[in-house]
Structure 1
Amino acid sequence: MTMTGSSAIHPRIVLGTCCLSLLLVMMDVTVVNVVLPSIRADMHGSFSTLLWVVDAYTLMVASLMLLVGSLADRFGRRRMFLLGIGLFCGGSALCGIARSVEMLVMARAVQGIGGSMLNPVALSILTNVYVEPRARAQAIGIWGATSGVALALGPVVGGILVHWVGWQAVFWVNVPIGLIAIVLTLRFVPESRGGRGRSIDAPGQLLAIVALAMVTSGLIEAHNYGWSSPTISGFLGFGALSVLGFVIVERRTASPLIDLRFFRAWPFSGAIVTAVLAFAIFSAFLFLNTLYLQDVRGLPALQAGLCTLPFALGSMTCAPLSGRLTGRYGARLPLLISAVGFGISALLLTGLDAHTPLWLLLVSYGLCGCGFGMCNAPITNSAISGMPRTQAGVAAAIASTSRQVGALLGIALGGALSAGSVRAGGVQWEEFPQATHVVWWCMAIAAAGIAGLGLVSTGIRAKESARQVAALLDSN
């Protein structure tokens, strides 16, 4: 690893700069949900375009996150970080001036490209600035806490901005914050590169993008074309072939995008699947509930955002508790608590209708926030558990990517499963609560899956599999 720049490095300012960029990116993941009804009313978009406004961003982040880490190591982390902030702010400005839903979706994709360059690169910058292990752990803890706070507060901030300014404000507010981050980066963040440039797995990266794009397109557009239509069959079939091609390429290439040997370790595989399930629950839960609160209950954006405060409080309360429990007892206990929170939250909504008591909704939101707050620390811990130190960063990056894949699929699946309320003339909002019941049952099943994975991936045999994989990776 090489580092260049000012000889006087200010670690706290670097940490603040990285947290500022993370605040932008992670808040944008959830802030858009609460403004979707306003966008639909202003631009007369269809139900599927609402899904694309969210998923165009997440698709780019999920597809490019692993590639960006390699590019940053090769061409410079600060350089990639600056490019990411610039693209994110540029995409935000394009969202603010968008006059059609198609332009908005394209601008969201530009935002996503920029966003994919920020999270993994920021973490690499921090690990190189904070050399002492204890200080590094504290810095990464603050960085991770910022992520949780940003995700949880996104809907509340979105509601406030829509109420007082307009939906465009949730995008324009990114620009001045991003400019501040650019100035701080240029002034205080040192340039650094990896000690050995890793070759780029172009075929694997292309297949990953195609697979995610095809599966997402098939799920989002299914209610427009019908599940049995050749178009949807083509999307999903081509996506499945791309996944198969990705596996074949990754097994044969010398420098794979994802080393498939990692998945022989049960804790790692369990963490990846858990991340997909947890973030699918999280993203679909917020997406459907913000639509329900505004379009079914008739609440203005500000009140809808405030209704999600129990989620924010639950997440912020349980996230640090999860870290302590994981450090003391391992991943099993917080994963089981997370599953209980997610499961009860979903079950409370299986009878959702237009007149469901507000107190029940708030309890459900709070429990979902607790489940979400509990899951992140054990996911990361399980992903890197037993891995060689040289591979821990790659394992954590794959876990972060799986979170984005889960968020991507959660929106698409949530929309597809609740599409029973969609007609040619638009969404029949009086039918929407009933149409979401299948989603809540699926979430409850996913929560049970998290509990099962928490038990299986933390046992003695799982730990032994991780030791075997670590020995295998160390021998190469």
Structure 2
Amino acid sequence: MKAWLILFNVIIATNLAIISAVTSAVAESSIIGDLGIEGSVQQWVTILYFLGVNSAVPIGNWLGDRFGYKRMYFIGVSFFILGSFFVGLSSNFHMIVASRFIEGIGAGLIFPVGLALIMKNFPKEKLSLPINLYLGLSFGGGIGLGSIISGYFAQAGYWQACFFMNIPFGIFCLIATYYEIKETEKIDNGKFDFWGYLTFIIFVATLLIALTQGNLVSTTNGWKSPLVVGCLISCIVALIVWIFIEKKTSNPIISLKMFKYPLFVMACLSVFAIGSTLFATVSLASQYMEVSLKFQKQTTGLMLSIYGLALATFTMFSTFLMKHIHTLLVVLTGLCFLAISLFMNNELTFLSNKTHLAMILILRGMGIGLSLGPITSNGLKNIPLGHTAQAAMLLTFFRQTGATYGGSILNIIIIRRQFFHSQTFGEQITNYGIGFQETLRKMTSFFSFYHGNSPTEAKERAKQVIIDNVKNQSLIQSINDALFIFGIVICCIGFLLIFLNIKRQKEKPIP
């Protein structure tokens, strides 16, 4: 019974962390508008949160082994509550990004330490159900609830409530942790790998800065700017030094030996791709609905809640399927649904209706729900018992870095494709184009007849509407192109999983 109470506790805390991430996507325009944040730096409100997460996740298990998992979970929730409190009080850019970073550190401890607590309190042969409940209710539930809550409060003009509401639920988790969770046995896991951790964080941070800043219009010379080039060089050097250090140290933060298991490596790559799609769907769908379809934030939140509900439902349903069907078949079914939903995005325009969009979001939630849990469980099966905590941390890290870097990679593709589509569509807006002239004539007549504009005013207004629609569709098509590429990646992952499983059946398992 106590194991299930621990699971419930971790699900609540993880839910809060996911809701906070969703809020920054759905309520982003309200936050930057209220605080007067410039467009060139607004992405840091979200990036600093994920950077905090990615900084804390790698050391979560080391700290748990050394100081106790109960203590580190308690500290993680405390940091998250503190960060949420100051985010709600923020009155300027510097205060909110610093608070988001603190909040991210707390979430970065909650993710791996919370998952480790679940794994330590359930028998290994019965882990599939609690892990899928954890993933489904935490991520699906967090996206569903976070979308509704942030949409409602952002539209009401009180986005701060999305962060203040974390405090009472977080305090409940702290009280439950103090009284219900028994401290784990502390392990003397050797000297902290300071230089390995430092070089790894430099690698993570500089790569993120390069991917983000190189893509901004406001960055002088773009990818050739001294800042971006310097970050890329630092990133490569830090990665090389980190690998060298980790091979030499006896107690590495991330053991490179974990990557000798092919199925585990494939699981890491899979959760990276799925994590990218999981969180990018929230931000890109929000942008599409608010900018292109002109939805209100509350409507956007309700639409995204459909995605979260499908994700939660099918993550839990995958547990039932794995008892009756081979895990690989469940994973491939999920990846198939996911790829189809990404390809179907290509059908969306600025005239698409809610039903069409809802069908795509449901399919995507189904795909992620059926694949994420089984891939996580399957990736842990081949890992020796003493390394499961490290393996769980790595899977968590790859999922979260997918959310961070996957979004940056998608934005790079989107901006590049937007230039292409703007130019392609723009070439059709000429005085010699038959289609353009016919559309212009009809719209001029419409504005003249129904709005009482003079012929000259009606023609100018019609031209502006056409230009705005072209810009709008250029953005939509760019998003569709980026997701189409990710759909191809998902298909490749499916084929690789089939290949590795066939190969594994022909070979003896690694002792």
Q: TM-score, normalised by structure 1?
A: 0.87
Paired position in structure 2 for 1:355: 351
Q: Secondary structure at the match of 1:299?
A: coil
Residue range with higher mean Cα deviation, 378-387 or 66-75: 378-387
Q: Is the 2:342–2:486 contact (alpha carbons within 8 Å) kept by the matching residues of 1?
A: yes
- Which amino acid counterpart does residue 449 of structure 1 have in structure 2? C
> Do the aligned residues in 2 keep the contact of 1:338 with 1:371 (CA within 8 Å)?
yes
1:345, distance to aligned residue in structure 2 (A): 1.6
User: Aligned-pair distance for 1:267?
Assistant: 0.4
1:337–1:50: structure 2 CA closer, same or farther, 3 Å change rule? farther
Match for 2:486 among 443, 446, 449?
Answer: 443
The amino acid of 2:266's aligned partner reads G
Per the alignment, residue 474 of structure 1 pairs with none
* Counterpart for residue 91 of structure 1: 83
- Residue identity in the other structure for 2:295: L
Find the counterpart in structure 1 of residue 428 from structure 2.
Answer: none
Q: Distance in 2 between matches of 1:181 and 1:407?
A: 25
Distance 1:411 1:43 in 2: 24
**1:446, 1:48 → 2: CA distance?**
30
Q: Which amino acid aligns with 1:62?
A: N
Residue 24 (structure 1) aligned with residue 16 (structure 2): yes
Alignment partner of 1:166: what SS?
coil
Aligned residue for 2:184, secondary structure, equals: strand
Select the residue among 180, 199, 217 that pairs with 2:209: 217
Deviation of 1:240 (Å)? 2.1
The equivalent position to 1:457 in structure 2, one of 494, 500, 504, is: 500
Say whether 1:121 aligns with 2:125: no
Q: Give 1:46 deviation, angstroms.
A: 4.4
- Give the letter for the 1:146 counterpart: L
Supply the AA of the counterpart residue of 1:455.
I
CA distance in 2 between counterparts of 1:403 and 1:105 reads 22
Aligned counterparts of 1:160 and 1:296: Cα–Cα separation in 2:
20
1:158 matched residue in structure 2:
150
CA offsets, 1:270-296, max 9 Å, x none? 101111111112222221111221123
Q: Which amino acid aligns with 1:345?
A: S
Unaligned runs of 5+ in 1: 1-8, 472-476
Which one of the candidate residues 300, 304, 314 is aligned to 1:304? 300
Give yes or no for contact 2:133–2:316 (8 Å, CA) kept in 1: no
Letter in structure 1 aligned against 2:150: G
Partners of 1:200 and 1:255 within 8 A in 2: yes
Q: Distance in 2 between matches of 1:172 and 1:166?
A: 11
1:340 aligns to 2:336 (yes or no): yes
Deviation of 1:113 after TM superposition, in Å, equals 0.6
Q: Is the 8 A contact 1:335 1:454 kept in 2?
A: no
Matched-pair identity in %: 23
Give the total of aligned pairs: 455
- Letter of the structure 2 residue corresponding to residue 364 of structure 1: I
Residue 251 of structure 1 corresponds to 247
Write the distance in 1 (CA, Å) between the matches of 2:283 and 2:190: 38
The change in CA–CA distance for 1:452 and 1:136 in structure 2 (over 3 A counts) is closer
TM-score normalised to the size of structure 2? 0.82
Partner of 2:62: 70
Amino acid of the structure 2 residue aligned with 1:311: Y
Matches within 5 A, 1:44-55: 44-55=36-47
Q: Say if 1:335 and 1:450, in contact at 8 Å, map to a contact too.
A: no
Alpha-carbon shift at residue 128 of structure 1 (Å): 4.3
User: Hey, what's the Cα distance between the residues in 2 that align with 1:30 and 1:409?
Assistant: 16
* Equivalent in the alignment of 1:204: 196
Find the aligned partners of 1:292 and 1:192 in 2 and give their Cα distance. Answer: 46
> Please, which runs of 5 or more residues in structure 2 have no aligned partner?
423-467
Check conservation: 1:88, 1:114, Cα contact below 8 A: yes
Structure-2 separation of matches of 1:88 and 1:417: 33
Stretch deviating more after TM superposition (321-330 or 387-396): 321-330
Task: Measure, in 2, the Cα distance between the counterparts of 1:385 and 1:350.
Answer: 37
| AA partner of residue 322 (structure 1) | S
2:476 to 433, 450, 460: 433
Q: Letter of the 1:236 partner, please give it.
A: L
Please tell me whether the aligned partners of residues 30 and 157 of structure 2 are also in contact (alpha carbons under 8 angstroms): no
Report the Cα offset of residue 135 of structure 1.
7.0
Matches within 5 A, 1:5-404: 10-130=2-122, 139-153=130-144, 154-164=146-156, 166-222=158-214, 223=216, 224-225=218-219, 226-404=222-400
CA distance in 1, matches of 2:481, 2:267: 26
Q: In 1, Cα distance between the equivalents of 2:68 and 2:332?
A: 40
The Cα offsets for residues 133-181 of structure 1, whole Å up to 9 and x where unpaired, read as 6776655454333223333312223213323462111111111111222
Q: Distance in 2 between matches of 1:137 and 1:273?
A: 20
Q: Distance in 2 between matches of 1:330 and 1:194?
A: 37
Task: For residue 43 of structure 1, report the CA deviation from its aligned partner.
Answer: 3.0
Q: Partners in 2 of 1:289 and 1:207 — Cα distance? A: 35
CA distance in 2, matches of 1:157, 1:433: 26
Greater C-alpha radius of gyration: 2
The whole-number CA distance in structure 1 between the counterparts of 2:404 and 2:313 is 25
The whole-number CA distance in structure 1 between the counterparts of 2:374 and 2:384 is 18
Q: Is the 8 A contact 1:22 1:146 kept in 2?
A: no
Find the aligned partners of 1:379 and 1:220 in 2 and give their Cα distance: 29
Residue 319 of structure 1 deviates from its aligned partner by 0.7
